[in-house]
C-alpha cells in the first residue's frame, strides 16, 4: 500500500518518528478494534499511510489529544486504545475516530 509523501514532521517527543506534516496526517488503524458490545481483543495499530488533513475539515473527528512537547506514536496509541482509527499530525496532535465518515486522500495522490 502506498504511504503518501506529505508526512515529514518529526514527533516532538521522538525525533526518529514522524507525526504527520502540514495539512497531512499519519493515519493508523487498530486491527483489533471491536464495536461496542463485542468482546475486545488485544491488538495493535497499523500504519495505513499519510493522508490529507486540515484544521478546517479533520479526517478524524471523534476525539483530540494534544502534547506539543513530548508526543510519540506510542503515546498516541495509548490515548487511542478505544478508537478504531488514530492519526498523528503536526508533531504533537492526535485525532481519533470510531468510523471513517469520508474516504481520506493519500498525500501522494493530491494534485498540487
- Whether 88 is covered by a domain: the verdict is yes
| Domains: count for the chain | 1
The bridge status of strand 45-52 relative to strand 24-30 is antiparallel
At CA 53, angle to CA 48 and CA 56, rounded to 5?
Answer: 155
Residue 78 within a domain: yes
Q: How far apart are CA 29 and CA 16, in angstroms?
A: 21
> Does pTM top 0.75 for this prediction?
no
Any domain includes 47: yes
Range of the domain at 41: 1-98
Residue 71 forms part of a structural domain: yes
What would the pLDDT profile of 4-28 be if each residue is shown by its tens digit? 678 888 988 988 988 888 888 888 8
Summarised one tens digit per residue, pLDDT across range 28-67 is 888 876 555 433 323 467 777 788 887 787 788 888 888 8
pLDDT score for 77:
83
Amino acid at each position: 500500500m502506498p504511504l503518501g509523501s506529505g508526512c515529514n514532521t518529526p514527533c516532538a517527543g521522538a525525533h526518529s518518528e514522524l507525526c504527520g506534516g502540514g495539512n497531512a496526517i499519519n493515519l493508523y488503524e487498530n486491527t483489533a478494534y471491536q464495536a461496542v458490545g463485542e468482546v475486545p481483543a488485544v491488538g495493535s495499530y497499523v500504519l495505513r499511510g499519510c493522508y490529507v488533513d486540515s484544521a478546517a475539515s479533520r479526517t478524524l473527528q471523534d476525539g483530540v489529544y494534544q502534547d506539543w512537547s513530548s508526543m510519540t506514536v506510542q503515546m498516541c496509541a495509548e490515548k487511542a486504545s478505544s478508537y478504531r482509527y488514530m492519526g498523528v499530525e503536526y508533531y504533537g496532535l492526535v485525532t481519533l475516530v470510531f468510523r471513517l465518515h469520508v474516504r481520506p486522500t493519500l498525500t501522494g495522490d493530491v494534485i498540487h
